[in-house]
Structure 1
């Protein structure tokens, strides 16, 4: 992977740890593009296989009351086109209702099923902790994604006796190496990825979601400013842009086995 990364006490060292496959979980179409499209564009350019799982249909999004019957189809199409701009074609949907997502065992089982199917090196998800600095990052569905995925990652994914129907269907337990979280509190951020070379790809992906962002100029200014301020927090040189993550080592050489 050739995207430069800096870190502050991050357990992930891009010079030592290889990423071959990534599975991303977000609540709504466009969440992944705002949170990590630059990093994802760098990954796919380096040959990393990236898959998305969008948990809700985004049916409560948009601004036009006359398009309610079409909004789900429109947002699915927007996400497919946006994903293609950053090199992603494998997209899964859980079809939960927008605004009603909860970390139920039904949802957690679906997450476990997909992780055991894809068997990624990195699961990327929204953060389960509320961001009080920018509360817009902490939509209740975002928090539910973080909680459901975190519960799935440990211990259910690696516990052969959790959701036994999955093992019976051939989906064996799997020890995930890494969990990367987006949209959490700034004090949790410990890994910053330099996406200066992917800013235009990221913005192009966001632009596809026209049903959600009618003021394109304001959105562009905001995203560019946030990327630059994130780079400053991460200690990158002036003029760079970055995306931030809370990286958690789930299983590694020092992990003690057990549930």
Structure 2
């Protein structure tokens, strides 16, 4: 019998910061976990690196206003009150020091013990990933380390009054069958419903995408596949890294030597 994916140790979570490139990125399943966390009293913040202004045929400024309003409604659906939106250019997000600096600043401000971000691989189970997603994921991973080092972006400490912040967990969303998945979150019931509602809040954006399926049709479907791997009805899976745990290689060496 295949071993079930274990639950995340979310009882230790206090504050979670989700770092993504665009409005709507969180709403393709991950917001179901957010709905569960906020219901349990965990504070969740979103950091969007762009306003999503290149995602619709409307003029960019009009699109940015529309997508921000829809993102605010999506946040309300899952209990997120802390939303920060930066103005890096949509569609041409650049990995580099400017992006790392801005993410680092928000980590030091919000002081999460958990950071959720997306993968930085070119190829994913859904196909080739979009360039902004890859830049955001890699910059977020590096910014977690930056935020803990008082000598990196020291002006944020010396001039802005921020303090270094040690993040314990990094979570990357995963899918059923992903060999890197390590943990899951049971989102059966209300968290699933609220997560679907959060994607439905992007109504005008979704209407501009040809043949986009209804959120209520496909979100429960793929989260049910995830659920089978956790032994529950619906689940969100993650690749989780505990930054306070010893590297796996050291643990294996200790076991071998005993």
Paired residues of 1:103 and 1:147 also in contact (CA < 8 A): yes
Evaluate the alpha carbon distance shift between residue 211 and residue 223 of structure 1 in structure 2; reply closer, same or farther with a 3 A threshold: same
Which residue in the other structure is 1:177 paired with? 168
The separation in 1 between residues aligned to 2:125 and 2:13, in whole angstroms, is 31
Change in CA separation of 1:7 and 1:57 when aligned onto 2, cut-off 3 Å:
farther
Residue matched to 2:204: 211
Match of 2:23 among 24, 29, 41: 29
Structure 2 counterparts to residues 40-119 of structure 1, below 5 A: 40-62=34-56, 65-66=57-58, 68-119=60-111
Q: Any idea what the Cα deviations from partners look like across 1:132-184, whole Å, max 9, x if unmatched?
A: 32126x21111111100011112x11111111111202222221111111258
Q: Deviations along 1:1-49, whole A, 9 cap, x unmatched?
A: xxxxx97378x534xx511111111111111111411111111111111
Q: Would you say 1:133 and 2:130 are equivalent positions?
A: no
Q: Which runs of 5+ in 1 are unaligned?
A: 1-5
In the alignment, the residues of structure 2 paired with residue 31 and residue 242 of structure 1 have an alpha-carbon distance, to the nearest angstrom, of 18
| Residue of structure 2 in register with 1:235 after alignment | 230
Pair 163,213 (structure 1): closer, same or farther in 2 beyond 3 Å: same
SS in 2 for 1:96: coil
Change (3 A) 1:70 1:7: farther
User: CA 1:150 to 1:217, structure 2 compared with 1: closer, same or farther past 3 Å?
Assistant: closer
Matched positions, count = 239
Matching residue within 203, 221, 228 for 1:225: 221
Q: CA, structure 1 residues 175+66, in 2 after alignment: closer, same or farther (shift >3 Å)?
A: closer
Counterpart of 1:145 in structure 2 is 136
Name the counterpart of 1:201: 194
The aligned counterpart of 2:251 is none
Q: Give the C-alpha shift of residue 196 in structure 1.
A: 1.0
2:5 corresponds to 1:8: yes
Deviation for aligned residue 1:206: 0.5
Q: Structure 1 residues 114, 69: closer, same or farther in 2, change over 3 A? A: closer
CA RMSD of superposed structures (Å): 2.2
Q: CA deviation at 1:235?
A: 3.3
> Structure 1 residues 189 and 69 mapped into 2: Cα distance closer, same or farther (>3 Å)?
same
Query: Deviation of residue 244 (structure 1)?
Result: 1.2
Give the direction of change, closer, same or farther, for the CA distance of 1:194–1:131 in structure 2 (3 Å limit): farther
